[in-house]
Structure formats: C-alpha cells, structure tokens
Amino acid sequence: LRAMSKADGDKIILVVLPKYYNGKKYWVFGSKAAIYLHIPAEIIGMPLSTMQNVVKLNEEPFVTKAGVVLYSMPLHRTKQKRR
C-alpha cells in the first residue's frame, strides 16, 4: 500500500454551522453541490450558483453572511490493490 499524494485530488469540505440543523453542526461533503442536497441555501447563506462562482476554498476557511464556516481539506487515503 502506498499513501496517495495531494496531487491525487481528493478533498473534503467541512461545513460548520452556527446552529444545529437536523441535529448536527458539523457536516462533511465531497463537493459544493452535495452540501445543497442536505442543507438548504437559507441555512448556508447563499445559493449554490454563488458558492460555485465566488467561493474559492483553498487554504483559508470561508465564512458566509449566515456565519457558516467552510473548510477545504485533503482526504488522506491508501491505495488498495485491485485483484
């Protein structure tokens, strides 16, 4: 097994809500679009189109007007042998 590098491109988006929604404050997603399948735009504080066109998730967290904090982080995996 070898550790996959950051160049492999897998990232997660950690969403931290200021208040609980459906019993959770911390949510983890694989894409910006996936966020909106589970959390309404009113809770996030912006529509998906704005998120995709304006928000650049790099090293710094992004805070929406609704107080939602978005983090982008690498997903660390090991490569499995295929049989």
Q: What is the pLDDT of residue 41?
A: 96
Share of the chain above pLDDT 70, in %: 89
As a whole number of angstroms, the distance between CA 18 and CA 8 comes to 32
Give the model's confidence band at 72: pLDDT under 50 very low, under 70 low, under 90 confident, else very high. very high
5 or 74, which is more confident: 74
Residues contacting 61, CB < 8 A, separation 6+: 69, 70, 71
**What is the pLDDT at residue 9?**
61
Is residue 82 scored above 80 in pLDDT? Answer: no
Q: What is the DSSP letter of 62?
A: E
Q: What is the mean pLDDT of the chain?
A: 86
Q: Tell me the whole-structure pTM to 2 decimals.
A: 0.79
